[in-house]
Amino acid sequence: MGAHREVPAGTGSGTGSGSDPEADEARHILVRNIVARGGLTDPAWRAAFEEVERHLFVPYYYVHGIGGYERLWGEDPDPVRRRRWLRGVYGDEALATRMRDGELISSSSQPSLMALMLEALEVRDGHTVLEIGTGPGYNAALLSHRLGDAAVTSVDLDPEITESARSHLAAAGYRPAVVTGDGARGCPQRAPYDRIIATCTLPSVPPAWPEQCTPGALILAPVATGLVLLEVRATAHGPRAEGHFLHTPAYFVPLRGASPLPEPVARPGGVPRRAIGDELFRFLLTLTAGRLDPHEALSLWEREGRPQRERYGVTVADGRQWAWLDDPEGPYTWPLGEGP
């Protein structure tokens, strides 16, 4: 397990690493709350969340305010606003960390969701991990704490994001490989990987990812409004990645540069309001948008007993990929990728 590194004096976001009892206490409370809800059962991940200081990675973030977004930051001369910033940093919420022309392009994910995803990866000492979507660098720091810097590669398309993340990581004492590039292409120069984790929503799983994996590797990625966990197996025709969705909903910033899936119709005529208001039906609509008529989706959903997320899955094999219900070769399958 990667050891915690000392942070150089004078680095950080104004609170000072290890020098702010209020930040330390807030972090410990956050961890206790995640544990109380059943998260962080692995002691190694609990130690990572206890020791990696999130405030070093979000020196500022944006919240909804009157007439738009309000910026909260750790160097604010107003002590009341600084406390608001710190409470938000160690609240169990996603934080908007970078805006451009009024559009959110980067965020720090909800800590409890990050914990769930990291534990679902089932990493072991010696594993190498590729992270898609560096964001402010907090998730890469948690991975580095668990596995060591040399085992972690993080990719983001935006050079401003990767430069900022490197600075945050260095301030916290971590130096994983942070690469500026198209996450859909993975990072072949540092392959192969035992685990791939994406922190951005995808229309489909990029075929380059299984190709850069070791046999038995796991890929965890947000697709539609869920998290799909794929196991990679070697076959005579190349790698086959297949697996089910986890139980939890998940909403992330889209992978930049990817072609999004068509949006489902907000209120298809003839579809009852109760169905549209059901989060699991909305998941099915999003997963099959442009592939399955909403009325057919409703019929399937009701006939199959309003299936939970865990009954759905994704397969990537033989140059194609598809989503499915219950059985990858069964009657309910829908192609993923560009075009109908």
DSSP states of 111-133 as a string? HHHHHHHHHHTT--TT--EEEE-
pLDDT tops 90 at residue 227:
yes
Q: Compute the average pLDDT of residues 144-164.
A: 97
pLDDT at 273: 81
Decide if 11 is inside a domain: no
Query: Measured between alpha carbons, how far is 286 from 30 in angstroms, rounded to an integer?
Result: 32
**Please, are residues 226 and 249 in contact by the beta-carbon 8 Å criterion?**
yes
Decide if 312 is inside a domain: yes
pLDDT at 185: 96
Q: What are phi and psi of 337, to 5 degrees?
A: 120, -170
Q: Which one has a higher pLDDT value, 216 or 276? A: 216
**Please, are residues 247 and 221 in contact by the beta-carbon 8 Å criterion?**
no
Domain count, the chain: 1
Query: Measured between alpha carbons, how far is 238 from 251 in angstroms, rounded to an integer?
Result: 31
pLDDT tops 90 at residue 19:
no
pLDDT at 7: 40
pLDDT tops 50 at residue 63:
yes
Query: Measured between alpha carbons, how far is 253 from 278 in angstroms, rounded to an integer?
Result: 22
| Chain mean position to CA 247 | 15
| Strand ranges (E), 18-109 | 60-65, 68-73, 95-100, 103-108
pLDDT at 268: 64
Decide if 148 is inside a domain: no
Percentage of the residues of the chain whose pLDDT score is greater than 90? 74
Decide if 325 is inside a domain: yes
Which CA distances in Å does 62 have to 49, 66, 71?
23, 12, 5
Residue environment code for 244-263, b if the CB has 16+ CB neighbours within 10 A, otherwise e: bbbeebbebbbbbebeebee
Tokens of 59: 């020196």
pLDDT at 3: 46
Local confidence band at 264 (pLDDT 50, 70, 90 cut-offs): low
Q: Compute the average pLDDT of residues 12-22.
A: 54
Decide if 280 is inside a domain: yes
Decide if 13 is inside a domain: no
Local confidence band at 263 (pLDDT 50, 70, 90 cut-offs): low
pLDDT at 48: 98
Q: Please give the helix or strand (H or E) that residue 196 lies within, else none.
A: strand 193-198
Decide if 40 is inside a domain: no
| Closest C-alpha among 129, 132, 84 to residue 252 | 132
Q: Compute the average pLDDT of residues 36-61.
A: 97
pLDDT at 254: 80
Local confidence band at 213 (pLDDT 50, 70, 90 cut-offs): very high
Q: Compute the average pLDDT of residues 93-108.
A: 86
| Closest C-alpha among 189, 186, 191, 222 to residue 206 | 186
Query: Measured between alpha carbons, how far is 183 from 306 in angstroms, rounded to an integer?
Result: 34
Give the residue numbers marked as catalytic.
109
Local confidence band at 267 (pLDDT 50, 70, 90 cut-offs): low
The boundaries of the domain holding residue 299 are: 260-335
Tokens of 315: 């397969």
Q: Which one has a higher pLDDT value, 55 or 276? A: 55
Query: Measured between alpha carbons, how far is 87 from 85 in angstroms, rounded to an integer?
Result: 6
Summarize pLDDT for 288-337 with one digit per residue, the tens. 987 888 889 999 999 999 999 999 999 999 999 999 999 999 999 999 87
Query: Measured between alpha carbons, how far is 250 from 129 in angstroms, rounded to an integer?
Result: 21
Decide if 47 is inside a domain: no
Which CA distances in Å does 89 have to 138, 188, 214, 281?
12, 34, 36, 33
Tokens of 240: 């086959």
Average pLDDT, the chain: 89
Q: Compute the average pLDDT of residues 154-180.
A: 97
299 burial via Cβ count (<10 Å: 0-12, 13-18, 19+): exposed
pLDDT at 326: 98
pTM: 0.90
Q: Which one has a higher pLDDT value, 47 or 339? A: 47
pLDDT at 6: 42
